[in-house]
Every structure is written in structure tokens, then in C-alpha cells.
């Protein structure tokens, strides 16, 4: 009896099969490269239109066996999430705002015609998986355990149709620090308006795998042109939308002479609603020291602010790095120098400190979810 004929699975029904062959954990978690090493167990939950959600299973990590006609291989019926578990200074294990990721995952599932589920039940299943793998959560306040919930359409048929079968699974990998310890390395960006990541009416606001595959070539081009990441522009006015797989923030003195933190609005559907993005805006609104605005920022706004010495900081924000300062943008063959570090990256550093203090339990906060 693997199915529950229900509109959601239940964490209380979880079945656990432990591995007999655990793999050695990394000796130095601070040296872990993102996404290369996986823990011993995975979570899997099957779904079918006829029988509903199955029983959640935690079992030894294993290969999937799927028919070559399976929907995900042809039409990219895939979605994922990216979140982390941290070992706190008081030796708890905590996730950061996991319900935010669940909300986004269910929104994305709807967009992909993949099944919905009860978000709290998935958080409980993920928490149980992390508990089973607790020794994999690095004993370090610069490393963490990356959590990758994934859902794929598994119907073995070539019709471009809603998949009548799906698999939700989650794998985990230890990750080292994004920045070398003690440094806050700025990155260089390539901004080329010939390329876009997402468009109005498209699917850019959802965490679908199909949004990411086509970006790899542009990222390669950025590297070839001596830049580390892509600054995604949009529209004839070259709106500044995202940095690589991060939301983008500008801290500047705006045209009215006010200090302002600005980021792209979500209403056009071309930006992924980042959990870090909304957390930074909430923190900054609590500080109440400068304006916090969701507004369109164009490359013309950036170059004008630069020429008038009004641009103070520009940074990306996402789960991987929390915040990532930017020091240059290659735009129309001009290398624009961005003075984030010259200005001491004060706002970026303060965000970094406040968020990592919450994540590693140095500051108690309702955003920290103890596993
Ligand atoms: N934009 C894109 C395109 C992303 O893939 C991500 C990573 N999920 C983000 C922004 C940042 O989102 P979050 O803060 O939830 O990690």
C-alpha cells in the first residue's frame, strides 16, 4: 500500500529505510564545492492522478529508473527549490523561512501542471530528512547543508499534456562558504541587452528548471568576456532585473536626493520572488533609515547615478551567498566601475551580518525554524 488517495501526503506516514553503506562525510566542510557531494538518504513521494499522493519515503540515495518517453525528459516538466539547514551556535539545526520556499514551490507546481500538496507536510518531511542526516550539517558557521526539493512529471508518454504521474523528491548536499572566509569578494557582471532570462507573460517568476538551462550559454559568454556573472536586462529601456540566480538591489541617492534601497518589482512576472529579497526588504523597513522601494531601474538610471556619484552599492541577493557585492558591469563594451566596495559595502555587509546571525542562531528570530 504505497498510496493514500489523498490530495496531500502526510509526514506522519513517513517510512524510513536507513542505508547500510554510509559514505564518508567531507573532512573539511568549508572546502565543499556546491552540488558535487550528496548525503546518504533521499526523500521520495510519488503521485498519480488516479491514486493521489503516495506515502513519503526516506531511503538510501539511489538512481531513478524512468522510461525514455518520460515527460520530464522531453518537455522539462520539472521544478525545484533551494534552501539551507544551518547548525546554530547553540547546536540546534535550523532552516531559514522554509514555508516561503514551500509557497513558491506550490505556485510553481501549479504553473507546471504538477500536483499541489500541503506545504506544512512537506516542511515536516524535509525536517525529518535533515534530522536523519543531522551529522551532515556542517559543524561550522560558514558552511551549511543545501536542501534541493524537486518535482518531475513522470508519465511515460510523448503528448505535450499534463503529466498524470509525478515524483517529488529531495536530495541534500553539504556546501562550503560562498565567500572565502574573512572576505566579501565583489563580482563583475556582463550586461548584454541581446539576451533576456524571462519575459512578460512567461514563466520567469517560477522556479522551473526550464528557466535555467538556456541561461548556461549566456553565463559561458560572460566568463569568456572576463565577467563572473550575467546581469539580466529586459526591455528596450534595459531594465536591470536579476544577477545570475540572484535578485538585484541598488542602494543609492535617488533623483530626489533621498537614500534609497531599490529592487525590481514582481508585478511583471519576470523576476523570481526570492526569499532573501523579501527578507532584506523587511529588515531594511524595520531599520527605517532609508527608503525601501520596488521600482524599475534601467541601465540609464545606473549610468546617470554613477556619473553624479549617487550610486553607493549594487549587490545580488540569494540563498547561496545571502548578498554578493558587484564591482563592475560590462555594458555596451564599456566597463562601468561600481563603487560598492569603495563605499565599504556598508548596507550589503549589514544585511549579510544580520541574516547570517539569524541563520546561525546568534540572533533569535521567528525566521529560524528548528528541525
Ligand atoms: N533569482 C533567481 C533566478 C534564482 O534562481 C534565485 C535562487 N532561488 C533567486 C533569485 C534568489 O532566491 P532566494 O533568495 O529564494 O534564494
DSSP codes, 99-136: HHHHHHHHHHHHHTT-----HHHHHHHHHHHHHHTGGG
State whether ipTM is beyond 0.85. yes
Strands in the chain per DSSP E? 3-6, 15-16, 41-48, 52-54, 57-60, 78-80, 83-87, 93-96, 144-153, 165-175, 187-191, 229-234, 239-243, 246-253, 259-263, 291-294, 311-318, 322-331, 334-337, 368-370
In which residue are the cell numbers 539551507 written? 84
Q: Please choose from 195, 230, 243, 318 the residue to mutate so as to test ligand 1's pocket, defined by most ligand atoms within 8 A of CB.
A: 318
The alpha-helical segments, DSSP class H, found in the chain are: 71-75, 98-111, 119-132, 216-224, 275-287, 299-307, 346-359
- Which residue CA neighbors atom 4 of ligand 1 most closely? 245
- Which residue CA neighbors atom 5 of ligand 1 most closely? 245
Task: Using the atom order of ligand 1, give the atom closest to the CA of residue 197.
Answer: 3
Task: Using the atom order of ligand 1, give the atom closest to the CA of residue 276.
Answer: 14
- Which residue CA neighbors atom 10 of ligand 1 most closely? 246
Task: Using the atom order of ligand 1, give the atom closest to the CA of residue 100.
Answer: 15
Rounded distance, CA 40 to CA 173, Å? 10
Task: Using the atom order of ligand 1, give the atom closest to the CA of residue 211.
Answer: 3
Q: What is the pLDDT of residue 42?
A: 98
Distance 246 CA to ligand 1 centre (A): 5
Residue ranges in the chain modelled with pLDDT below 50: 1
Distance 245 CA to ligand 1 centre (A): 5
- Which residue CA neighbors atom 7 of ligand 1 most closely? 245
Q: What is the pLDDT of residue 1?
A: 46
Rounded distance, CA 144 to CA 38, Å? 13
The radius of gyration of the chain from alpha carbons, rounded to an integer in Å, stands at: 21
Distance 163 CA to ligand 1 centre (A): 26
CA distances from 36 to 19, 39, 197, 320, 361 (A): 20, 10, 25, 15, 27
CB atoms under 10 Å from CB of 279, counted, come to 20
Question: Is the whole model's pTM more than 0.90, yes or no?
Answer: yes
Q: What is the pLDDT of residue 179?
A: 82
Q: Residues with Cβ within 6 A of ligand 1?
A: 82, 242, 245-247, 272, 274-277, 318-319
- Which residue CA neighbors atom 3 of ligand 1 most closely? 245
Q: What is the pLDDT of residue 276?
A: 98
Distance 36 CA to ligand 1 centre (A): 20
Task: Using the atom order of ligand 1, give the atom closest to the CA of residue 246.
Answer: 10
Cα 181 to chain centroid distance, Å, stands at 22
Rounded distance, CA 137 to CA 141, Å? 10
Q: What is the pLDDT of residue 33?
A: 87
Rounded distance, CA 273 to CA 103, Å? 11
Q: Please choose from 144, 272, 321, 323 the residue to mutate so as to test ligand 1's pocket, defined by most ligand atoms within 8 A of CB.
A: 272
Rounded distance, CA 200 to CA 25, Å? 44
Helices 275-287 & 346-359, crossing angle to 10 degrees?
110
Q: Please choose from 203, 245, 249, 264 the residue to mutate so as to test ligand 1's pocket, defined by most ligand atoms within 8 A of CB.
A: 245
Q: What is the pLDDT of residue 6?
A: 75
Q: Please choose from 150, 178, 274, 283 the residue to mutate so as to test ligand 1's pocket, defined by most ligand atoms within 8 A of CB.
A: 274
Q: Please choose from 78, 149, 247, 277 the residue to mutate so as to test ligand 1's pocket, defined by most ligand atoms within 8 A of CB.
A: 247
CB atoms under 10 Å from CB of 277, counted, come to 23
**Phi, psi of 229, deg, nearest 5:** -145, 170
- Which residue CA neighbors atom 12 of ligand 1 most closely? 274
Rounded distance, CA 106 to CA 226, Å? 38
Distance 319 CA to ligand 1 centre (A): 7
CB atoms under 10 Å from CB of 188, counted, come to 18
Amino acid at each position: 500500500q504505497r498510496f493514500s488517495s489523498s490530495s496531500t501526503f502526510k509526514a506522519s506516514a513517513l517510512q524510513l529505510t536507513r542505508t547500510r553503506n554510509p559514505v564518508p562525510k567531507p573532512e573539511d566542510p568549508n572546502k565543499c564545492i556546491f552540488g558535487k557531494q550528496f548525503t546518504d538518504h533521499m526523500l521520495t513521494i510519488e503521485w498519480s492522478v488516479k491514486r493521489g499522493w503516495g506515502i513519503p519515503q526516506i531511503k538510501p540515495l539511489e538512481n531513478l529508473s524512468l522510461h525514455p518517453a518520460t515527460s520530464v525528459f522531453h518537455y522539462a516538466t520539472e521544478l525545484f527549490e533551494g534552501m539551507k539547514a544551518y547548525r546554530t551556535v547553540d547546536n540546534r539545526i535550523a532552516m531559514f523561512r522554509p514555508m516561503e520556499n514551500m509557497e513558491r514551490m506550490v505556485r510553481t507546481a501549479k504553473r507546471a501542471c504538477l500536483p499541489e500538496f500541503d506545504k506544512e507536510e512537506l516542511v515536516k518531511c524535509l525536517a525529518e530528512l535533515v534530522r536523519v542526516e543531522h551529522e551532515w550539517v556542517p559543524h561550522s558557521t560558514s558552511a551549511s547543508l543545501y536542501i534541493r526539493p524537486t518535482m518531475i512529471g513522470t508519465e511515460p508518454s510523448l503528448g505535450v499534456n499534463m503529466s498524470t504521474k509525478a515524483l517529488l523528491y529531495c536530495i541534500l548536499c553539504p556546501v562550503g562558504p560562498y565567500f572565502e572566509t574573512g572576505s566579501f569578494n565583489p563580482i563583475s557582471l556582463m550586461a548584454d541587452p541581446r539576451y533576456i532570462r524571462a519575459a512578460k507573460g512567461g514563466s520567469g517568476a517560477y522556479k522551473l528548471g526550464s528557466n535555467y538551462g538556456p541561461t548556461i550559454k549566456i553565463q559561458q559568454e560572460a566568463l569568456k568576456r572576463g565577467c563572473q556573472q550575467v546581469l539580466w536586462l529586459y526591455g528596450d529601456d534595459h531594465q536591470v532585473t536579476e544577477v545570475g540566480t540572484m535578485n538585484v538591489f541598488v542602494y543609492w541617492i535617488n533623483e530626489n536626493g533621498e537614500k534609497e534601497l531599490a529592487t525590481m518589482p514582481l508585478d511583471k512576472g519576470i523576476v523570481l520572488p526570492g526569499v532573501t529579497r523579501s527578507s532584506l526588504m523587511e529588515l531594511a523597513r524595520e531599520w527605517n533609515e532609508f527608503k525601501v522601494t520596488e521600482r524599475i531601474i534601467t541601465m540609464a538610471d545606473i549610468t546617470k547615478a554613477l556619473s553624479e556619484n549617487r550610486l553607493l552599492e549594487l549587490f545580488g541577493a540569494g540563498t547561496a551567498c545571502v548578498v554578493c557585492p558587484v564591482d563592475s558591469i560590462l555594458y555596451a563594451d564599456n566597463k562601468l566601475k561600481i563603487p560598492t566596495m569603495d563605499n565599504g559595502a556598508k548596507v550589503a555587509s549589514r544585511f549579510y551580518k544580520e541574516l547570517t546571525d539569524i541563520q546561525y542562531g546568534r540572533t533569535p528570530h521567528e525566521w529560524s525554524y528548528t528541525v
